[in-house]
Every structure is written in structure tokens, then in C-alpha cells.
Amino acid sequence: TRDADCTTIASGYLAANATGVFKTFYLNAENQVAYLGDGKNPLAVDFKECQSLEVGEPVTSQKSGVIYVPSHDKCISITNQQNAAGPYYTNLTTCGAAYQIGYPQRWVLDEGSANAIRWSGETDQEGTTLQGGCGLLGYASHSKGVPTITHSNSQVTIECSGTPFRLTQTAA
């Protein structure tokens, strides 16, 4: 089972650190991660660390895994992961089976950086060059961390130099 591979290490509402305040994301009608900043319908998630994604990797504060959405029994995925460069878009899809987690669902939680969550996507054979060639990816934002919404339905985009997602226990 997937649970044999992946274990919940953090839970909360998926949030933006917007001007120093955690503001929650939600799922829009298309099941895309979206942002209004009103705290309504906050998106509760579990970050599940997956051992299969860390085989042969040095032990660090960066934990590889999936963002699981219990209310839908699905994982947050990138819809256009095959593109060499962003912006990238989110959706919910069935979580990968144990030891078979696809690149669109591969995220990193950094315990050494207040549980910052970024998308890792695909790496090269040495495991160094990450998706888009720019390191870990976050959501598009203004300088203060407020998500920049440039597409329909208030959906966020994932890109190079993006702001990491956070987890919060309070809907705001």
C-alpha cells in the first residue's frame, strides 16, 4: 500500500506567508489550488514523506513526499510537468502507488526552513538539476508573499523563484 511508503509528518491548512500573516489556499471548482485571501474553505492537507523518493539521498532537513488532500483522497499534482519551463498548474489526481510516485506529485518539505513546501518535479540522473533548471519551485507571488493571480478561477501558478507554501493550524 501507499502507506507503507509514505508517512504523514505534517498537517494543516495549505497557506501563503502573505505580508507576514498565514493566509489559506482553497480548492476552486476545477480542483485547482487557488487563492482569494478570505480564509473561506481552507484546504486541509497532510504532507506525507515517502521513503522511496529518498533512497540513496543524504539525510537532510528536506523531506521528499506528496501533499495529500484527505477530503478528496487525492494528491496535489502539477498538470503540465512535462513542460521544460513554467509556469506550472495544479490539480488533484489519484495519489501514486507505493514506490511509484510520479514527478507531478513530488514535493519537498524543509524542516530546517519552518516546513517550507516547494515542488521538486523531475531531477536528472544525478538528482541535481530540478524541474525547470532552477531548484525547488513555489507559487508566483508579489514581494511580500501574496500570491500573484494571473489565470482564471483564482488559481495559483508554480514557478522558478516562487514563494514556498506553508502549513498553518488556523484558517485565515
Distance in angstroms (rounded) separating the CA atoms of residues 154 and 133? 27
Residue 128: predicted pLDDT: 61
The mean pLDDT value for 48-72 works out to: 90
Structural domain for 83, as ranges: 2-168
Burial of 167 (0-12, 13-18, 19+ CB in 10 A): buried
Instruction: Output the domain CATH number for residue 152.
Output: 2.80.10
Q: Which residues contact 39 (CB under 8 A, 6 or more apart)?
A: 23, 24, 171, 172
Q: What proportion of the chain, given as a percentage, has pLDDT over 90?
A: 63
How many domains does the chain contain in total?
1
pLDDT, tens only, 16-37: 998 889 999 999 999 999 999 8
Distance in angstroms (rounded) separating the CA atoms of residues 149 and 9? 30
Is pTM beyond 0.85? Reply is yes
Whether the ω angle into residue 104 lies within 30 degrees of 0, i.e. cis, is no
